[in-house]
Amino acid sequence: MLAWSLLLLVFLITGCAGLPPIYTVAGGTGTYVVRKGDSLYSIAFRYGLDYKSLARINGVRPPYTIYVDQLIRLRGSAKSPGKDSAPVATQPSSRPPSKVSKAPSVPSAPVAGWRWPLEGEVINRFSLAQPVNKGIDIAGDLGDTVRAAADGVVVYAGGNLRGYGQLVIVKHNDSFLSAYGNNEKMLVKEGEKVKAGKSIARVGKTAANVEMLHFEIRREGKPVDPLRYLPTR
């Protein structure tokens, strides 16, 4: 009981630092039931998966529309396919299997013109070790303008992801997403195209009364250090 209480305390303290690991779904089934306000992108983001792979194994085609109470399979979605495509049916063959060479990995497409989403001090850096922080936390004042870090389209704007508050996710290309959490107010809607520097949200306040923006960059569904991409200042 004591160990569980300590674990819960650590989770509450870390806040935006991270969500439950991949596949920690009720009953341990590796599935997720869609709730109101979810999108395929937010589900992939929640579990650290690539949205293209998640769509592929669930037979969801672009523009990736999902429905409340739909059952989404999570297992088998950690790897990204080379391109968006539906599963291909194959006929069994009587010939012995031939030796297949491993296909080379496709490099992630770069994103041009990254810029800082908020002018402020970085108060918590990226870390995948304890304590985990899947992005960076940038100090700001309540109501400060949060800006898009690069050109893209808004694929999620809501509050369904525990620990992130009001969250905006922008898709930049097939490889990169950026996320802006802990907002007081969102200024964009899903499906809206944004240019780098466009106002997308207002800085909010954490449960610990800290005014800041939580900012993440995801590459192929995995969190990466934003400081590797943002311009030096």
Q: Is residue 52 located within the same domain as residue 133?
A: no
Q: Is residue 196 located within the same domain as residue 134?
A: yes
Give domain status of residue 79, yes or no.
Answer: no
Residue 81, pLDDT score: 33
Which helix H or strand E contains 178, and what residues bound it?
A: strand 176-186
Residue 64: CATH number of its domain: 3.10.350.10
Q: Is residue 223 located within the same domain as residue 161?
A: yes
DSSP per-residue letters across 27-87? GG-SEEE--TT--HHHHHHHTT--HHHHHHHTTPPTTT---TT-EEE-TT-SSPPSS--PP
Give domain status of residue 84, yes or no.
Answer: no
Give domain status of residue 169, yes or no.
Answer: yes
pLDDT class of 78 with cuts at 50, 70, 90: very low
φ/ψ (deg, to 5) at 91:
-90, 140
Q: Is residue 43 located within the same domain as residue 134?
A: no
Q: How many domains does the chain have?
A: 2
pLDDT in tens, 141-194: 999 999 999 999 999 999 989 889 999 999 999 999 999 999 999 999 999 999
Residue 115, pLDDT score: 97
Q: Is residue 145 located within the same domain as residue 218?
A: yes
pLDDT class of 107 with cuts at 50, 70, 90: low
Give domain status of residue 163, yes or no.
Answer: yes
Give domain status of residue 94, yes or no.
Answer: no
Q: Is residue 59 located within the same domain as residue 139?
A: no
Q: Is residue 57 located within the same domain as residue 129?
A: no
How far apart CA 183 and CA 164 sit, in angstroms, is: 8
User: Is the pLDDT at 232 greater than 50, yes or no?
Assistant: yes
How far apart CA 9 and CA 38 sit, in angstroms, is: 27
Q: Is residue 132 located within the same domain as residue 66?
A: no
Lowest-pLDDT choice from 3-12, 42-51, 104-113: 3-12
Q: Is residue 130 located within the same domain as residue 205?
A: yes
φ/ψ (deg, to 5) at 11:
-65, -45
CA angle at 24 for the pair 37 and 35, rounded to the nearest 5°:
15
Q: Is residue 216 located within the same domain as residue 150?
A: yes
Query: The whole model's pTM is what?
Result: 0.74
How far apart CA 119 and CA 100 sit, in angstroms, is: 50
Give domain status of residue 111, yes or no.
Answer: no
pLDDT in tens, 44-74: 999 999 999 999 999 999 989 999 999 999 9
Ramachandran class of 166: left when φ > 0, alpha when ψ lies in -120 to 50, beta otherwise: beta
φ/ψ (deg, to 5) at 169:
-120, 130
Residue 183: CATH number of its domain: 2.70.70.10
Q: Is residue 216 located within the same domain as residue 136?
A: yes
pLDDT in tens, 7-34: 433 333 344 444 333 334 444 569 999 9
Give domain status of residue 101, yes or no.
Answer: no
Give domain status of residue 207, yes or no.
Answer: yes
pLDDT in tens, 85-99: 222 222 333 333 333
Q: Is residue 147 located within the same domain as residue 60?
A: no
Residue range of the domain that includes 44? 16-73
